């Protein structure tokens, strides 16, 4: 692991605990939302500091907006996953549905995406703009996905354990979230590598937060077992993203065979 990555992780380890403490003390995702937003921008702050220390420049992070095909896929994936998971939950009676008005849904699904980017981009400049770029120079595809997935997961763990960022059962929340994040990492990393840009991951992260947290979670009336299926801490999205990962890995393997 190179000095840049070690420095980057060191900055995260110094600054993140401050925002964990402030967020948890203020009430987690509800009362501490301002501090949670600050936490989501720490990866970018760490990336900028590291780049300036070693490169004296912010070039090479993948700022250029490109990869429109990958961005389209990144936007659609969370939406289709939510339709499948939440739709099945509503239809089977495992959870109720309080539908939004069509106009409100359309506004949120379009303009809401850009509002969602305000926080998602703070993480993705760090994870995919900086960290993915640096690790690609020294690690294999599998090791890159594993490393970034573990870092991304551990970054969320204090809020899952010590705040209300869970489904009420911290063990199952941590388990399902782990599967989902590791699968999302492979999807995001692969799309960014294909596009040679961090923007597909920004769209994926923004779309996920928008459709899961701001739309489908809010339209769902929870029964005693609903959140074990829905939300970021249920088995539904974990399985959907895992299935997508299998497809992406198969497609990548097939593409390599075709090249040979």
Q: What is the pLDDT of residues 9-68, one digit of tens each?
A: 999 999 999 999 999 998 877 656 899 999 999 999 999 999 999 999 999 888 899 999
Between 127 and 60, residue with greater pLDDT: 127
Check residue 258 and give its pLDDT.
Answer: 66
pLDDT at 260 over 60: no
Check residue 31 and give its pLDDT.
Answer: 58
Q: What is the pLDDT of residues 159-210, one digit of tens each?
A: 999 999 999 999 999 999 999 999 999 999 999 999 999 999 999 999 999 9
Check residue 30 and give its pLDDT.
Answer: 66
86 burial level (CB within 10 Å; 0-12, 13-18, 19+): buried
Sequence ranges of the domains in the chain: 64-259
Question: What average pLDDT does range 1-14 have in this prediction?
Answer: 94
* Confidence class for position 92, pLDDT limits 50, 70, 90: very high
Check residue 256 and give its pLDDT.
Answer: 73
Question: What average pLDDT does range 91-111 have in this prediction?
Answer: 94
pLDDT at 116 over 80: yes
Check residue 11 and give its pLDDT.
Answer: 98
Predicted TM-score of the model (pTM): 0.95
Q: What is the pLDDT of residues 228-258, one digit of tens each?
A: 999 999 999 999 999 999 999 998 887 776 6
């Amino acid at each position: 692991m190179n000095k840049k990555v070690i420095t980057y992780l060191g900055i995260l380890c110094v600054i993140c605990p401050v925002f964990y403490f402030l967020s948890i003390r203020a009430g987690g995702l509800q009362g501490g939302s301002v501090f949670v937003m600050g936490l989501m921008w720490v990866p970018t702050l760490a990336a900028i500091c590291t780049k300036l220390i070693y490169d004296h420049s912010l070039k090479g992070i993948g700022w250029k907006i490109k990869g429109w095909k990958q961005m389209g896929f990144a936007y659609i994936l969370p939406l289709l996953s939510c339709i499948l998971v939440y739709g099945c939950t509503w239809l089977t009676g495992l959870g109720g549905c309080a539908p939004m008005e069509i106009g409100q849904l359309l506004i949120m699904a379009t303009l809401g995406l850009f509002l969602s980017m305000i926080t998602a981009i703070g993480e993705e400049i760090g994870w995919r703009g900086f960290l993915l770029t640096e690790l690609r120079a020294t690690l294999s595809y599998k090791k890159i996905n594993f490393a970034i997935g573990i870092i991304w997961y551990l970054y969320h763990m204090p809020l899952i354990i010590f705040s209300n960022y869970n489904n009420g059962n911290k063990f199952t929340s941590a388990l399902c979230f782990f599967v989902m994040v590791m699968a999302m990492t492979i999807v995001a990393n692969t799309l960014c590598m294909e596009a040679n840009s961090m923007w597909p991951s920004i769209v994926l992260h923004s779309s996920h937060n928008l459709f899961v947290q701001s739309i489908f979670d809010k339209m769902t009336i929870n029964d005693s077992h609903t959140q074990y299926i829905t939300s970021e801490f249920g088995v539904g999205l974990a399985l959907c993203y895992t299935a997508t990962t299998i497809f992406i890995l198969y497609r990548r393997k097939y593409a390599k065979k075709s090249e040979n």
